[in-house]
Amino acid sequence: MADILSKKEIAHFIHYGFVRLDNSFSRETADAVLEILWNDLPCDRSDPLTWVEPVIRLGMYTDEPFVNSVNTPKLLIAFNQLIGKDKWIPCRNVGTFPVRFPSNQQPKDTGQHVDASFPGNDPNNFLEWRVNIKSKGRALLMLVLYSDVCENDAPTVIYEGSHRDVAKLLSEEGDLGLSFMELAEKLEELPKRKEAFATGKAGTVYLCHPFLVHSAQPHHGSTPKFMAQPPLLLRGELSISDSDVGYSPVERAIRLGIGLLE
């Protein structure tokens, strides 16, 4: 198959930190995922009066529709374009689901953050997980929409270009990097960035640089939002300097952030 991402889209990824892929998987696959998720939720799909929490988190899913949704030919080609062939590990689950419901309550997880990628001293404490300048363990952050999401439906807030600011910050922290919380506490010091919203039809996937700052927000719509945020894992590690074979778009974005010219 031909390349999925154009040169313009790859340039957008490098400079702004994300690219949107519509119709990455079918509506039928999305519906199969929703059927499973609704069955596991402690509320009634047809009765909004039972939607009493602003967000309910569901666990890891490895069922066929979940795995198929993040391994379509379209996505696999895009992964190769952004990271390099054979440099990433195919997804075998889609992580946890923060299912967001219309609510007047303020959810407690709306802070700006960067997803961490490798464990700290306590692998069971996510707040101690870490991220370093080579993005050890993580090639991409993916925002995978299984329901239609408009601007009222709590779309993830993306801070355009923030991945380059984070790269500069991490460049001073060595291989150990920063923990999830250490990095989160430093984000307010970074330049203010334009906000974009991860909206789209079910089947839309946002492929995001692993350093991209993002945040959740309250749901002011009428239909629950279903989105997964799985990492695409790295097979090895990123090359930031002294590469003999050139740099992938993920690597080029980091180099741009730390002032290494092409």
Structure confidence by residue, pLDDT tens digits, 206-222: 999 999 999 999 999 99
Model confidence at 24: pLDDT above 90:
yes
How many domains are there within the chain? 1
Inside any domain, residue 183:
yes
Inside any domain, residue 256:
no
Inside any domain, residue 1:
no
The torsion of the CA quartet 74, 146, 213, 253, rounded to 10 degrees, works out to 0
CATH number of the domain that residue 127 is part of: 2.60.120.620
User: Could you tell me if 249 and 78 are in contact, meaning their C-beta atoms sit under 8 angstroms apart?
Assistant: no
CA distance 98 to 142: 14
Residue of 150, 5, 142 whose CA lies nearest to 69: 142
**3-class secondary structure, 45:** coil
Which tens digits make up the pLDDT trace of 52-78?
Answer: 999 999 988 999 999 999 999 999 999
Inside any domain, residue 203:
yes
Inside any domain, residue 125:
yes
Inside any domain, residue 257:
no
Q: Which domain holds residue 139?
A: 7-250
Inside any domain, residue 69:
yes
Residue of 86, 80, 100 whose CA lies nearest to 37: 100
- What number is the average pLDDT over the span 165-193? 95
